[in-house]
Amino acid sequence: MTVNYVNRNPIQSASPGVTSIAASMGSIADNELIDNLMNLQVPKTPKVSPNTSQVAYCTTLEWGHRTGEHPRSTLWLAATDKKDSTRQLTSGLYNDFEPHWSPDGKSIAFLSDRARPGKSCAIYILPIEDGGEAIPGSAANTENERQIVALQWSPDGTSIAFVSADEKTKEEKEREEMKDDAAVWGQQLAFNKVRLLDIATGEITVLNFDVHEAARIKNHHVLGVCWSPDSQSLAIWTARTPYLEHEFIYGSEICIMSKEGIGLERLCTCDTQIKSLSWESHGMLHFITSFPSGNLAATALYKVDVRGKTEPQHMAYGEVDDAAESKIINRDTIVVRTQRALDTCFELFGGVTMLSYQNDIKEWDVAFDSTTGKTILAFVKSDINTPSEVYTAMYTAIPNADMASAARASPSSPVSLSKHGSLFVSKRFGTFTVIKTRSFDRKESLDGIFLTPAQHTTSDGTPTHALPTIVLPHGGPTDRNTDRFNAYYYYIAPYLLHHGYAILLINYRGSSSYGARFAQYACGGMGQYEYPDIIAVTQCAIDSGYADAHKLVVGGWSQGGFLSYLCAVRNNNLKEEGFERKWMWKACIPGAGITDWDAMALTSDLGASIESELAGVTPWRSSKEDVTSRSGSALWEFDGAMQRGKGMWNRGLPPMLMLHGEKDERCPITQAWGMRRALESYGLEHTFVTYPREPHAFGEQKHWIDLVKRVKGWCDKYIGPQA
């Protein structure tokens, strides 16, 4: 990695043997804590067997990061009604993930890179009922280089539909080898297609669109697939091209076709991406997309009639919450995972809540067994002191579409099937306290989450005294903070709590889970609402006696990095419109952040879509007099900060620790370069750390470790006991 730092002196480059503040930190116990955190196996994609007796799932390191050259993932199996019953199915030497039960429950299909470690994945079939080794679904499938992006068993169990692009031709490979591979934008694109794997023969059939059918639809890049209940037809959703932002610029289409690949018809178009497409027995397709519209909107449940070819109809959610995902059981009963403020709720469509937690739950599954009448809900849950584990809850009388009887049905007590976080059973990191306040303009209620380190906690969970606090706005902005073990990214939260620092998380306007009105604040004019919300919630924490006004650090990743930069350049502006501060940030830690929204429109992989919607304008659709995007661009506010800060230490800017991946396509590293040059030109205190090979979300464990140690070191230096 590269480290540049200024400490009231001209810039210097760290020598190979020097890694800054972080290098000399850490006792053996501290390093052991970091190793235990980083190597936690995190459960993903639980899948309940058709007879509801077992749950298959995979584990991987958080965010799929890796300790070596390639990521690894392991398959596990547990009995749905037995505590700590999980057992390992695969070796953990390969990337084995995405388990899917066969309809008869005798085997599991999954993706694995065991034939080409670290390069590409193939479909494997693992017999469960009779035991045995996993075998490739097709010999040809193991030679593929393109990634498989989706798969689903046919309800009759004879086929698996999956989505991937055609392999490179011999000529394309030769051109690459000869370095004769100039690329023309929009040409030679690798469009995803639907493929059918015949379970009996291992043969793979490609469902190509013929010329006449392709002419009837605009979007030819397949993103997902869903079988009809009778296994005769497929629903697909598509984007215009493989370019990531085209899904957000041109929207998505839902089409249907026969399993032979003929009769392609467009059902409907949505103006942004869709999720959770499922086909119920009465001919309705259900899916999740934006509400009311737009890439930065809330999300809701919709339906479209396969037979009537009607426009999508809004079914529920999106007004004050978000529909995050939906599944169908017993052919036509819809179960929805919703996010409502700080809660995650599992609901039957119609309003009956099956289960609700004030936790962040994203991984789940549900299944119904008609022979026993049991419904099993499996989910992965964590909290501030408990790493992610797999749980199940059993219900009776749920799938009859009888809301009265369903409302009377109560689940069994959730059963913990796994113990992947056993190393932390006796460890307490802290407490979780919700603080609420009004926005300065009085328009909205805001949620803050104050995490108090265990060593400074009273009997009611609140701080013993005002604590040194790091404020961490989340990324997105379409995300939220609530109770979970990795409460922020890279295990920053448990690590800082262990060392006695309090953490304040803020669901500012534009966050998800609060409905359409709250989400729409993110559209245009960055910095107008989120920034004052950060100040308002921080002020509430100070007024509550939780946060020490003299020991505050602001930091964050991605959108949180952008807000950290903005907090830094506005730090010496104590009398801002609508409110007045009597405190200043002592330090700032922006990670993968944004400093110039116009540059984001030009260089980000989502520059012409989401990033431009956040800024409110694009350079090519605004006059040269339009300076809308400058309102939230820290670089354009830098000179004003320098003028206000004359005579103040460090010109009133908090010392910055800037962290950025060198291969970041979402928020390119040029964003940090700009701020580094601005700071350097005034000789202001900062450290700039770049991480080779890293995209927007880091993948290498040594970089994770370096990052969290640097964050703690910066806090120690500016708000720690010796600060």
pLDDT digits (tens, 9 = 90+) for 628-641: 888 899 999 999 99
Alpha carbon distance 296, 315 (integer Å)? 20
pLDDT score for 2? 61
Q: Residue 589 forms beta bridges with which residues? A: 555
CATH number given to 2-17+424-719: 3.40.50.1820
Number of residues assigned to the chain = 723
Q: Is the predicted pLDDT of residue 574 greater than 50, yes or no?
A: yes
Rg (CA), the chain: 26
Q: Quick check: bond before 411 cis, omega within 30?
A: no
Tally of helices (H runs) and strands (E runs) in the chain: 14, 40
pTM, 2 dp: 0.93
Contact 249, 260 (CB under 8 A): no
Domain 146-168+188-319 = CATH 3.30.390.30: no
Q: Is the predicted pLDDT of residue 490 greater than 60, yes or no?
A: yes
**pLDDT grade for 661, boundaries at 50, 70 and 90:** very high
* Cα angle 57-61-64, degrees, rounded to a multiple of 5: 90
Name the residue type at position 621.
Answer: R
Q: Residue 162 forms beta bridges with which residues? A: 151, 195
Q: Mutual orientation of helices 28-38 and 701-719 as an angle, nearest 10°?
A: 130
SS3 719: helix
pLDDT score for 15? 30
The average pLDDT across 441-455 equals: 97
Residue 530 CB partners (closer than 8 Å, separation 6+)? 473, 477, 508, 509, 510, 521, 522, 563
Among candidate residues 39, 75, 78, the one with its CA nearest the CA of residue 59: 75
Task: Phi first, then psi: give them for residue 535, nearest 5 degrees.
Answer: -65, -40
Task: Phi first, then psi: give them for residue 235, nearest 5 degrees.
Answer: -105, 140
Residue 461 CB partners (closer than 8 Å, separation 6+)? 431, 432, 433, 452
The average pLDDT across 163-189 equals: 93
149-163, 381-395, 401-415, 510-524: segment of lowest average pLDDT: 401-415
Alpha carbon distance 415, 412 (integer Å)? 8
Tokens of 524: 């245009």
Q: Is the predicted pLDDT of residue 549 greater than 70, yes or no?
A: yes
pLDDT score for 400? 52
Predicted confidence (pLDDT) per residue in 459-468, tens digit: 999 999 999 9
> Residues of the chain with pLDDT > 90: what percent?
80
SS3 690: strand
The residues spanned by each domain of the chain are 2-17+424-719, 146-168+188-319
pLDDT score for 210? 67
Predicted confidence (pLDDT) per residue in 291-318, tens digit: 998 889 999 999 999 987 678 999 999 9
The average pLDDT across 592-603 equals: 96
Alpha carbon distance 93, 37 (integer Å)? 20
Name the residue type at position 175.
Answer: R
Buried b vs exposed e over 437-471: b needs ≥16 C-beta within 10 Å?
bebbeeebebbbbbbbbeebbeeeebbeebbbbbb
**pLDDT grade for 20, boundaries at 50, 70 and 90:** very low
Burial class (CB in 10 A: 0-12, 13-18, 19+), 304: buried
Predicted confidence (pLDDT) per residue in 355-364, tens digit: 999 999 999 9
Predicted confidence (pLDDT) per residue in 189-242, tens digit: 999 999 999 999 999 999 987 655 666 667 789 999 999 999 999 999 999 999
Q: Quick check: bond before 477 cis, omega within 30?
A: yes
Element (H, E) at 598: helix 597-603
> Residues of the chain with pLDDT > 70: what percent?
93
